[in-house]
């Protein structure tokens, strides 16, 4: 059954304002600036919404994993019933193209170690190597490392296809990546160590304890964790001031957006070095000024999902209709202007009046919706099982 034009507009506004509500909460809580939030949207999650709505995107991950990722965030994301002041124009640093950026300086990072050669690790490694860094890639078995190098070649071919490197650069780039199952050998000369192991806190703490003992005293120790905050693993080292979160989005070598997550003891020097280094290799870093679960990106994605699920449960639109409204509507604008950019672009989509009215209608559930739990209980998890809100072919 098609969605009426009136309901289509209502759905779009509710979803946009659900994003705005969480964005405003992050700013008001001092977690991030408007510019950093828009940077994450423009350069990472917004690019996903331009090609797939929330149901399509989360089904790639699987509703069982969404339960883990979103379960805690549902208890934390904003339930404000009024918006406060909505910015009437883009922030000055957004206009200038700056996102919490220090003055560029000569690179202090020549050697990068990546611990974990899986989905994210191999992409992180190949991107640094493509920019002339020597990269040590570590994992626990030669087979895993061999597979990572095969995937790295494929990733470099993607960079060739996108015009970011030439085909002649593939072999020299691969030659700059050394592989080892010996953690000490992998990190002993590193200026930056990036842990990209599985999301297991005990494992990460063991890794950080080991790299803290083996890496040079000046080395910055980072984690690509999307779940754990820097203090959780930094506490396992003797240098928490040199520990920082560097949250990539998949695929890490193609999406430019990253989040630099400051821990309670992370030094300003470390933040500046990391931001400067990533800008020098073409990334767009956004600073998360203090630890918070989900950082910027996951909190916004869960805020959108919560409202999308409520719309489907209220029978205003189906899951595919919600996805189509996002994908072919405001999702196309988000990679260009971000959430706050929608406010300041003059089209009135997120006006103060509309926000005042719609804030009171937004979903405030603190528990996962029955709609999601039913999918998990029935085993309809999405791509991994072939069925969820969609039927997925191999």
Reported as a single tens digit per residue, the pLDDT across 131-167 is: 999 999 999 999 999 999 999 999 999 999 999 999 9
Burial of residue 196 (number of CB atoms within 10 Å: 0-12, 13-18, 19+): buried
Answer yes or no: is 8 within a domain: no
Q: Which is it for strands 111-115 and 192-195: parallel, antiparallel or unpaired? A: parallel
pTM for this entry: 0.90
More confident residue, 5 or 336: 336
Reported as a single tens digit per residue, the pLDDT across 158-211 is: 999 999 999 999 999 999 999 999 999 999 999 999 999 998 999 999 999 999
* pLDDT the model gives residue 377: 96
Answer yes or no: is 28 within a domain: no
Answer yes or no: is 309 within a domain: no
Please give the average per-residue pLDDT across 95-101, as a whole number.
44
Calculate Rg over the CA atoms of the chain.
Answer: 21
Say whether pLDDT at 84 is over 80. no
Please give the average per-residue pLDDT across 241-258, as a whole number.
95
More confident residue, 106 or 4: 4
Domain that holds residue 151: 111-288
Answer yes or no: is 127 within a domain: yes
d(CA 10, CA 301): 19
Reduce the DSSP state of residue 91 to 3 states and report it: coil
Question: pLDDT band at residue 88, thresholds of 50, 70 and 90?
Answer: low
Domain count, the chain: 1
* pLDDT the model gives residue 264: 96
- Show the tokens assigned to 343: 């406010």
Question: pLDDT band at residue 346, thresholds of 50, 70 and 90?
Answer: very low
Answer yes or no: is 362 within a domain: no
* pLDDT the model gives residue 85: 66
Answer yes or no: is 343 within a domain: no
Share of the chain above pLDDT 90, in %: 80
Say whether pLDDT at 305 is over 90. yes
Question: pLDDT band at residue 328, thresholds of 50, 70 and 90?
Answer: very high
Answer yes or no: is 284 within a domain: yes
Answer yes or no: is 93 within a domain: no
d(CA 125, CA 111): 11
CATH number at residue 222: 3.40.50.720
Provide CB contacts within 8 A for 143, sequence distance 6+.
none
């Amino acid at each position: 059954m098609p969605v009426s034009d009136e309901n289509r507009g209502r759905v779009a506004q509710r979803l946009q304002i659900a994003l705005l509500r969480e964005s405003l909460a992050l700013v008001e809580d001092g977690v991030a600036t408007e510019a950093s939030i828009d940077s994450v949207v423009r350069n990472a999650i917004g690019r996903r919404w331009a090609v797939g709505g929330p149901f399509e995107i989360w089904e790639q991950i699987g509703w069982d994993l969404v339960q883990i990722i979103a379960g805690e965030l549902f208890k934390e994301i904003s339930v404000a019933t009024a918006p406060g002041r909505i910015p009437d124009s883009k922030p000055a640093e957004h206009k200038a193209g700056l996102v919490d950026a220090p003055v560029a300086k000569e690179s202090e990072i020549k050697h990068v170690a990546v611990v974990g050669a899986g989905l994210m690790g191999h992409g992180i490694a190949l991107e640094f190597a493509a920019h002339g860094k020597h990269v040590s890639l570590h994992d626990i078995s030669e087979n895993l490392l061999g597979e990572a190098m095969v995937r790295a070649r494929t990733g470099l071919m993607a960079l060739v296809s996108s015009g970011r490197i030439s085909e002649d650069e593939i072999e020299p780039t691969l030659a700059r990546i050394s592989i080892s199952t010996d953690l000490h050998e992998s990190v002993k000369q590193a200026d930056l160590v990036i842990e990209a192991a599985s999301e297991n806190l005990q494992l990460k703490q063991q890794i950080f304890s080991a790299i803290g003992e083996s890496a040079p005293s000046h080395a910055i120790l980072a984690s690509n964790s999307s779940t754990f905050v820097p203090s959780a693993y930094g506490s396992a080292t003797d240098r928490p001031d040199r520990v920082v979160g560097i949250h990539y989005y998949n695929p890490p070598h193609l999406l430019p957006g990253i989040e630099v997550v400051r821990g309670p003891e992370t030094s300003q020097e470390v933040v500046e070095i990391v931001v400067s280094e990533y800008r020098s290799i073409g990334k767009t870093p956004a600073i998360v000024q203090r630890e918070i679960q989900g950082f910027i990106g996951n909190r916004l994605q869960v805020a959108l999902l919560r409202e999308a699920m409520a719309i489907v449960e209220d029978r205003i639109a189906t899951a595919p209709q919600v996805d189509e409204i996002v994908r072919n509507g405001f999702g196309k604008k988000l990679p260009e202007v971000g959430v706050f950019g929608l406010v300041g672009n003059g089209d009135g989509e997120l006006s103060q009046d509309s926000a005042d009215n719609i804030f009171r209608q937004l979903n405030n559930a603190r528990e996962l919706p029955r709609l999601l739990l039913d999918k998990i209980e029935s085993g309809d998890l999405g791509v991994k099982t072939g069925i969820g809100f969609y039927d997925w072919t191999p």
